[in-house]
Amino acid sequence: MTSPVRKAVFPVGGLGTRFLPVTKAVPKEMLPVVDKPLIQYAVEEAFAAGIEDFIFVTSAGKAALEDHFGRNHQLEDALAARGKAAELKVLQATMPEEGRFSYTRQQQPLGLGHAVWCARNLVGNEPFAVILADDLILSQTPCLKQMVDVYNRHGGNVIATMAVPHEQTARYGVIDAGGVQANPVPVRALVEKPAPDEAPSNLAVIGRYILQPEVFSFLERKETGAGGEIQLTDAMAKLIGDQPFHGLDFEGRRFDCGDKIGFLEANIAYALARDDLGAAFAERLKEYAN
């Protein structure tokens, strides 16, 4: 019997340099897609997957994240006094149950693996999810929920995968499935940012993970990999063979919101998908297309 996935780690310590100057004062995870910040989409996805405890790995200048998920009594009172019940309901929906959100700081930008390792004491000895808010996934069933369903059947570790053009493999962690055609597919090996002529496949790892706590013992070594950083992919690779490890080709469309074009495309896609905005926005887009 597998232990349930109750905790999720959100590495949110990045500087967001690709979005300067706005990220000088605003955390990149607070950039809005339509009318919600990226981090709220990530939290809502985790909640829909049954996550109970939310762990944020932050850095200096990220206080807005904590404020966003906290109470603002002055704003709530003002909305109530003005009879804005709908707006008040939306605001209160962003606030978690007390004690469910935790924050720890990554003191140095040493890579994703290091950020996840910083959450080790809050995770403890149980399986956990990792969600990268930059990777926004529009789907019928939330991506992490799809992964939890796979985990409940197979146990072990589960990562989200997506086919990418071979010339782009150097941007991602890439899996070796040993030629097996399945979904989920067993992961035989993992390589971080391989050159196209060295990539074992074109199946890239996307920013959703369900991991066993043994990964911390490998992250503890603080071995550096691609880019001189502590890579989560390298630590995950050491779990292969000792534990079940599967890659899920998820249902949905992924937007790289760490990239300006991907971020703008996400705003268009999410606006078009909204019942209250989609039709009117589609008409407006036609004007620009013409």
Percentage of residues of the chain with pLDDT beyond 90: 71
Encoded tokens for 28? 């990149």
For helices 85-93 and 73-81, give the axis angle rounded to 10 degrees: 160
Are the beta carbons of 239 and 206 closer than 8 angstroms? no
Interatomic CA distance for residues 281 and 289, integer angstroms: 12
Choose between 231 and 255: higher pLDDT. 255
Domain spans in the chain, listed from the N-terminal domain onward: 7-289
Query: How does pLDDT run across 178-237, given as a tens digit for each residue?
Result: 777 888 999 999 988 899 999 999 999 999 999 999 999 999 998 888 778 898 999 999
**Candidates 3.90.550.10, 3.10.620.30, 3.90.1150.10, 3.40.50.980; CATH matching 7-289:** 3.90.550.10
What is the pTM (predicted TM-score) of this model? 0.93
Query: How does pLDDT run across 44-94, given as a tens digit for each residue?
Result: 999 999 999 999 999 988 899 988 888 888 998 899 999 999 888 888 877
- How confident is the model over 154-174, as a mean pLDDT? 93
What is the end-to-end Cα distance of the chain in Å, rounded? 57
